[in-house]
Every structure is written in structure tokens, then in C-alpha cells.
A and B are shown apart, each in its own frame.
Chain A
Amino acid sequence: MNFDFSDDQKQLRDQARKFLTEKCSPKAVRVVLDGKAPYDKELWKGLAEMGFLGVAIPEEFGGAGAGHLELCVIAEEMGRANAPVPFSSTVYLAAEALLIAGSEAQKKKWLPAIASGEAIGTLALFEGKGNPSPESVKLTAANGVLNGVKKPVADGAVADFAVVAARTGASGRDGDISLFLVDLKAGGVEVKSLANLDPTRGQAEITFKDAKAEPLGATGEGWSILIQVLDRAAVLCAFEQVGGSDRALEMGRDYALDRIAFGRQIGSFQAVKHMLADMYVSATLARSNSYYGAWALSTNAAELPEAAAAARISATQAFQHCAKNNIQVHGGMGFTWEFDCHMYYRRANAMALGLGSLSYWEDQLIDRMRKKNAA
């Protein structure tokens, strides 16, 4: 047993952190936050050049073929830096869906384009309020075209293609859902940007009107593929959340050492110390759960569904907890647009919803634990 990243993986982390510290300063994040660009194109190019976009994509499809542990390491750094790029939609959702269910031709077409930074992808699953469920998918697929509306679609306004969940049968149960690949730049697709909690990663509404689509995976297997994609993305997002938690904790700690009130550093007040200690506790529990998820993901272990749900819940809670208390430690400064605290607060709360809310994953976790116990 060895429950830690290897030295090589730690070196990769240092490399990614150094790169992101240089290329993704809070100032750079603000360009996107303030609406001056839909995402940071320079950074995206740089990530491709560093090989980070294709780190878990096999070499035969233009990636580095390193693996999912390496991707977890990068994800953590992306979260720390609050990177304003469509990384999670492209790399965790679209690429993973292709890796799981894509035909040889589909992989050849899209994976090298993802790895090189030429194509941005996303997953179009939700249709308004609510959590992932086959019943909630109303968009239909028939005769090779899609009709319906997806909303919100993460990074939908900048994506080149989407993996779309559609109904191919009448009942709306598991077996009636199938996945499709759609070129979003082609006809029959209308995209509208939506205001959202975290402008550093956009959300869109996409309307499909007789939009051409090709099946991804077998007809009727869409839901079971989706569950696998969501589980993998849950682990990868958990690492982004862990990175964000750590950064928010660090910001709070640094401010507590810096700020003087009543003639003392505020970090010497026990109420502040204990708040920071509790942030450390939740960040640590989340990190440990995420390591377990990383192991399960990288070995494709039978434990993955349970480990992914645990990582998801714990990391979501930790990031929300650290981000909100970071503002509290900063006092009034923390509530200004000028300070960076709100960027993490926004990201934490947006990420808490992106793959389905906390209550959805709580439900999943208990279901999965029950199944394991029954087995």
C-alpha cells in the first residue's frame, strides 16, 4: 500500500503550479470575470503546449498517455488557480465520454483536437432545474437529428462540439436514453450565453432544431455511459475543489497573519484560529476522500461509484466551507469586488451544482453503499 502521489506526479504538480502562477494570475482571471473575454485563450493554448489537455488521452489519439492520476494532479492546480478555461467540460466530460464510448473514428476525430487545444467540447445533459435523471431528458433524437433545448450547458457558448443526452424511446427510463455527438458550429444549433454564478466558466442555453447528430455508443446505453462519465468527472472536479479549498484556506491564513485589530494580528484571536482550523479539517478530509477516488479512477476499480460520490460530496462541502469562511476572515475587504475571495466563492458554489447537486450525490452514495453491503 502507498497512499500518496509518486515523486514524478509531485514533480508534475510543481510544474503545473509554476506554469499557472505565471500564466493565470488573479488579474488574468479577472479579464474573463469582467466579461472582457469568454475564456482565456492564451492560457488554453499554453495548457495544450504543456500537454495538460491531453494528459490522460492515449498517445495514439494525440495525448500524453500518462493517466488519470496525472490528470488529478493537474485538476488540483486548475482549481487552485481558478483557471478561466473550459477545462472541465472539455477534458473531464467530453473527452471522457469519447474515451468510454467513442468509436475509433470518433476518437480519431476529436481526441487529438482536444489534446492540441483546437477543439473545445462539453456535455449537454440538463434541461432546466433538477438533477441528473433519465426522466428529465426531454430532447428527442430521431432520424439522425435532435430537437429540444439544453440548459445550462457548461462552456456551451465556446464549445465546438457537444455530447448530447437525448431520448430515443417513449418511456423516458434508462434504456430510452442515448448519447449523440453534435458539431455545434453546424446548422440547426442556436447558442445563447446565460448569466451565471461563476462567469469565469460560462453557461449557455442550446437549442437544437433538426440538428444533425451521430450516435455516441449504442442506442439505449446512454444513461449507463453518462453515469460512468459523471463518476469520473466527479473525481476530477473533486481535485479542482480540493485545490480551490486549499487556496481559499491559504488566503484566509495569510490575511489573518497580516491584518491587525485591537493591537493584535487577527490570527491570534481564537475565534479566527478555530475557523481556520475547521477549514483545514474539511479540506483535509476532502483531499483524503479524493485520493481514494483517484485510486479508484486510475485503476477502474469496482469501488469507483462509491469512491466518486464520497469524493464529490466531501470536496463540494470543503470548497464551499473554505470559500465562505475565507470571506468572513477578510471582513469587509472580503466582500469587495476588488479582493479575490469572491472568485473562489463563486466557483465553489457553481461547482457544487455542475454535476448535480449535493443532495443528488448524497442519494447516490447511500444507494451505492447499500448495493455494496447487499453484495
Chain B
Amino acid sequence: MNFDDNPQEAEFRATARTWIGANAPKQYEDELRKSSLGRTQLKNANILEVAKAWQKRKADAGWACLHWPKEYGGRGSSPIERVIWQQEEGPFGLLSRMFIIGHGMCGPTMMAFAREEHKRTYLPPLASGEKIWCQLFSEPAGGSDVAGLRTRAEKDGDDWIINGQKIWTSGAHYSDYGILLTRTDPTVPKHKGLTTFFLDMKSPGVEVRPIKQASGASDFNEVYFTNVRIPDHQRLGEVGDGWNVSLTTLMNERSAIGAAVATGFPELFEYCSSLMLDDGPAIEDRAVRSKLANWAVKASGLKYTSMRAISALSKGERPGPENSIGKLVAGSMIQDVATYALDLQGAGGVVSGEDGELAGRFQAMLLRAPGTRVEGGTDEIMRNIIAERVLGLPGDIRVDKDVPFNKIPTKGR
């Protein structure tokens, strides 16, 4: 068991550090350092443009999507090198959150299921941030129950014709491509009649309508498909095997999101270290310390859990269902942390935005947190995954399991 870099790792770290020192957009460092979940914005610049420029610069020098093969725009790095890079990239890494769906989920799915020529065409511009991808899975009738989706794909010569609606699609409004899960056969049980494609989001018949979120921001959308044509060679996996393809995406989603979710702890610790309460510094208050200690061990537990996962990866093991733990723990933790930080602010805690304490940092966190507990699978679904796939408990009773999809009763649809 050791934490120290071996000589190659140390050399890699030094090279990465030098390059980042010379190339990162330093003018935004301070702002990025102070941003937290729900509050990653730049005052005097468009963050998407800044993110794209940084990603392109990394890609040109071979620092994008480190663990991807070189021919697809990566560097062929080991999992450990990827972690070292993230440590060195520090706050600039926040900029790549923009690309997390493309890099974390769409890319790996393309790598596993697309044709070789498509991989070579589409993956490098995805890695470099020139093209942004989104994930078109959820529908009004199918969120947790993804396989309950209704968007239809019908074969027409060498093409497929798509009709239906997706919802909660993050980044669809600025995406160039998307991975789409559709129903190709409604006469078989729901998991068996699905097929996956990738498509150009600018195709005729695709309409994106932004949704205003509970937080006030607008990061996700409704996407409507009216007679959208997708050529058959853009199909991923076999016809009817879309469920398996989507499992690959979802598994990668869990480790990508799981590793990236904020816990809010560093922010809270820093805040309590300087905050004065009526009867003295917050950090010297017994009740405050007890709360902090409880969150401290959750945050460190998550950190070392992901290091254990990376150690396993570097020995050739695959990311497993145990990765569900990251989002499950961090999601409610950030919500609780934000609630507590506001409690410490007393009545003043109600003021948000620029007029709020610390420019509304914890208020923004509070308002974004509910989404974290839902996106990428709700807390309940995460617990089901751990119970069933890690602990081997029986699956939930699924009354619709063996029923043809078009015979499943629906409510008012």
C-alpha cells in the first residue's frame, strides 16, 4: 500500500505540472477556485468558450481524455496518470465538467459499439471539445425506468425514422451529437425491443426546447423528434440490443459522475474556519466540530474509495456497480452541508446571489443539490443497484417484465 509516485509517475507529474503552469487560463483561476456546485460561472467571459479553448489547447498538446487510445484523440495513459493529471489540473478541471457527458459516457459507448471509421471520425473532435455530445435516454414516461421509453425508430430502407420526445437532456442546446435510445419493437417485452443510435443534433426534425430548472438555471432540455432520419450505419450494437448498449453508458456514467461530484466539505470547512458566531469562532464550537468531523470522514472515505477503485482498474479490473457509492453519498451530503452552512448564517442565510454571504455560494449549492440526487439515477436506484448487484439480493418485483411493451397498462397516455 503506498501513496507515493513511482519514478515514472513522478516524471509524468512533473511534465504535466510544467505544461499546465505554462498553458492554463490563469486569469480565471481565482474565480474557478471559488466556484462550487451550482455556481460555476465566469463574470467577464462565456464559460463555454473558455472551456472549449482550454480543452482544444490540451488536445493539441496530447493532454485531452488521457486514458483514451491515441488514435481516438487520447494519450493512452494509465488510470493512475489520469488521477495525477486531475490533481495537477486543479481548479481548471472544473472547466471540463462541460464535457462530462461526452467524455464520460458517449465516448466510451462509441468506443465499445461504433464502427472503426466512425470512431476515428467522431472521437477526436469529441476529445478536443470541438464537438459536444449529449445523452438522449430519459423520457417523460421513462426516467428511472429507462426501458419504459416510447420514442420510436422505424426502418425505412437504409435509414431509420425517429418520432418521439426526450426530456431532461443536459446540454442538448449546445450539443452537436447525441446518443439516442429508441424503441424498435413494441411487441416484445420492454428490455428486448430497444435500439441505440448516435445522431447529428442538427438533423432536420430535431427540436430542442430549454427547460427552466428549479435552481433557476437552464442546463437541460426537452428534445422533440419529428420524422428524423438516421442512417443505419449510425446504429450502435444490434437491433433490439439497445438495453445492453445503454448499460455500458450507464455504468460509465456512474463512475464518471461518481468521481466528479462535489461533497461541499472543503467549502464548509473553510467557511467554519473563519466564521465568528455570537459566542466565538465557529470552529471552536463543539456542535460545529462534531458536524464537521462527520462530514470529513465521509469526504475522505469517498476519496479513498475512489483511489481503491483506481488501484483495481490499474490491475485490469472493470469498473463495477460499487461505483454507485460516490453519487449516493455525495448527493445528499452536499445538500446537508449547504443546509447547515445556511443554518450557521441564521436569518441572513436567506439572502442569495451576489448580495448573500460569500456571494451566495452555499445558497447556490442548496438549490442545485436536488438535481444531483436525481441525475444519473436517483438515490433509490443507486441503493437498488448496490443491494442487487453488489450484495446479491433479489431484484425488485417487475410486473411488466415478461409482458409485451404494447400490452403494459399505462395511465392516461
Where the two chains meet, the residues of A that have a C-beta atom closer than 8 Å to any C-beta of B are 1-6, 69, 249, 253, 256-257, 264-265, 267-268, 270, 272-274, 276-278, 280-281, 284-286, 288-289, 291-292, 294-295, 298-299, 309-310, 313-314, 317, 359, 361-363, 365-366, 369-370, 373
* In contact, B311 and A369 (Cβ under 8 angstroms): no
Q: List 8 A-B contacts (CB under 8 A).
A: A268-B395, A277-B387, A280-B387, A280-B391, A285-B297, A288-B304, A291-B308, A310-B301
What is the chain B residue whose CB lies nearest that of A364? B293
* In contact, A3 and B293 (Cβ under 8 angstroms): no
Q: Knowing A4-B312, A256-B393 are in contact, say whether A281-B386 is a contact too (CB < 8 A).
A: yes
A363 to chain B: closest CB distance in Å? 6
What is the chain B residue whose CB lies nearest that of A303? B3
* In contact, A273 and B4 (Cβ under 8 angstroms): no
Q: Which of A3, A268, A298, A314 contacts B297 (CB 8 A)?
A: A314
B310 to chain A: closest CB distance in Å? 7
In the complex, which residues 339-383 of chain B have their Cβ closer than 8 Å to any Cβ of chain A?
380, 382-383
* In contact, A3 and B289 (Cβ under 8 angstroms): no
- Complex alpha-carbon distance, A369 and B283, angstroms: 11
What is the chain B residue whose CB lies nearest that of A374? B273
Q: Judge if B45 is at the interface, Cβ distance under 8 Å.
A: no
* In contact, A285 and B393 (Cβ under 8 angstroms): no
Q: Which of A273, A289, A369 contacts B387 (CB 8 A)?
A: A273
Given A3-B311, A288-B305, A294-B1, 19 other A-B residues pairs in contact with their CB atoms under 8 A: A1-B80, A1-B83, A1-B311, A3-B308, A257-B394, A265-B394, A274-B380, A274-B383, A276-B391, A280-B386, A280-B391, A284-B301, A285-B297, A285-B325, A288-B300, A292-B300, A317-B297, A363-B293, A370-B273
Contacts of B390 in A (CB 8 A): 277, 280
Total A-B contacts with CB atoms under 8 angstroms apart: 155
Contacts of B294 in A (CB 8 A): 313, 317, 362
Q: Judge if B213 is at the interface, Cβ distance under 8 Å.
A: no
- Complex alpha-carbon distance, A249 and B387, angstroms: 11
What is the chain B residue whose CB lies nearest that of A361? B293
- Complex alpha-carbon distance, A2 and B302, angstroms: 16
Interface residues on B, range: 35 or more
Q: Judge if B392 is at the interface, Cβ distance under 8 Å.
A: yes
Q: Judge if B64 is at the interface, Cβ distance under 8 Å.
A: no
Contacts of B322 in A (CB 8 A): 284
A interface footprint on B282-309 (CB within 8 Å = 1, 0 otherwise): 0100100110111011101111110110
Contacts of A369 in B (CB 8 A): 269, 296
A66 to chain B: closest CB distance in Å? 14
Q: Knowing A268-B396, A285-B302 are in contact, say whether A2-B2 is a contact too (CB < 8 A).
A: yes
* In contact, B290 and A359 (Cβ under 8 angstroms): yes
Q: Knowing A285-B301, A369-B296 are in contact, say whether A362-B9 is a contact too (CB < 8 A).
A: no
Q: Judge if B22 is at the interface, Cβ distance under 8 Å.
A: no
* In contact, B384 and A285 (Cβ under 8 angstroms): no
Contacts of A309 in B (CB 8 A): 293
Q: Judge if B71 is at the interface, Cβ distance under 8 Å.
A: no
Q: Which of B5, B290, B301, B388 contacts A314 (CB 8 A)?
A: B301
Q: Judge if B329 is at the interface, Cβ distance under 8 Å.
A: yes
- Complex alpha-carbon distance, A313 and B293, angstroms: 8
* In contact, A257 and B393 (Cβ under 8 angstroms): yes
Contacts of B387 in A (CB 8 A): 267, 273-274, 276-277, 280
- Complex alpha-carbon distance, A366 and B273, angstroms: 10
Contacts of A310 in B (CB 8 A): 296-297, 300-301
* In contact, B293 and A366 (Cβ under 8 angstroms): yes
* In contact, A284 and B305 (Cβ under 8 angstroms): yes
Contacts of A359 in B (CB 8 A): 286, 290
7 shortest A-B CB distances, which residue pairs? A285-B301, A362-B293, A288-B304, A273-B387, A268-B394, A277-B383, A277-B386
Q: Which of A3, A273, A284, A289 contacts B300 (CB 8 A)?
A: A289
Contacts of B304 in A (CB 8 A): 3, 288-289, 291-292
Where the two chains meet, the residues of B that have a C-beta atom closer than 8 Å to any C-beta of A are 1-5, 9, 80, 83, 269, 273, 283, 286, 289-290, 292-294, 296-298, 300-305, 307-308, 310-312, 314-315, 322, 325, 328-329, 380, 382-384, 386-388, 390-397
- Complex alpha-carbon distance, A358 and B311, angstroms: 30
* In contact, B289 and A362 (Cβ under 8 angstroms): yes
* In contact, B2 and A1 (Cβ under 8 angstroms): yes
Contacts of A294 in B (CB 8 A): 1
Q: Which of A256, A278, A285, A286 contacts B383 (CB 8 A)?
A: A278
- Complex alpha-carbon distance, A288 and B299, angstroms: 11
Q: Knowing A69-B1, A273-B383, A294-B1 are in contact, say whether A365-B293 is a contact too (CB < 8 A).
A: yes
Q: Knowing A69-B1, A273-B384 are in contact, say whether A281-B312 is a contact too (CB < 8 A).
A: no
- Complex alpha-carbon distance, A299 and B393, angstroms: 39
What is the chain A residue whose CB lies nearest that of B391? A253
* In contact, B393 and A4 (Cβ under 8 angstroms): no
Of listed A256, A265, A313, residue having the most chain B CB within 10 A: A313
A233 to chain B: closest CB distance in Å? 18
Contacts of A281 in B (CB 8 A): 325, 328-329, 386
Contacts of A286 in B (CB 8 A): 301
Contacts of B5 in A (CB 8 A): 1
Q: Knowing A270-B396, A289-B304 are in contact, say whether A370-B283 is a contact too (CB < 8 A).
A: yes
* In contact, A288 and B3 (Cβ under 8 angstroms): no
What is the chain B residue whose CB lies nearest that of A286? B301
* In contact, A289 and B396 (Cβ under 8 angstroms): no
- Complex alpha-carbon distance, A180 and B304, angstroms: 38
B43 to chain A: closest CB distance in Å? 28
Contacts of A280 in B (CB 8 A): 386-387, 390-391
B209 to chain A: closest CB distance in Å? 35
Contacts of B1 in A (CB 8 A): 2-6, 69, 291, 294-295, 298
A354 to chain B: closest CB distance in Å? 18
* In contact, A268 and B397 (Cβ under 8 angstroms): yes
B121 to chain A: closest CB distance in Å? 35
Q: Which of B312, B380, B393 contacts A268 (CB 8 A)?
A: B393
What is the chain B residue whose CB lies nearest that of A288? B304
Contacts of A285 in B (CB 8 A): 297-298, 301-302, 305, 325, 329
* In contact, B393 and A289 (Cβ under 8 angstroms): no
- Complex alpha-carbon distance, A363 and B296, angstroms: 12
Contacts of B393 in A (CB 8 A): 253, 256-257, 267-268, 272-273, 276
- Complex alpha-carbon distance, A369 and B289, angstroms: 11
Contacts of A253 in B (CB 8 A): 391-393
- Complex alpha-carbon distance, A278 and B269, angstroms: 25
* In contact, B380 and A2 (Cβ under 8 angstroms): no
Contacts of A278 in B (CB 8 A): 383
Q: Knowing A1-B307, A3-B308, A276-B393 are in contact, say whether A366-B80 is a contact too (CB < 8 A).
A: no
Contacts of A365 in B (CB 8 A): 293, 296-297
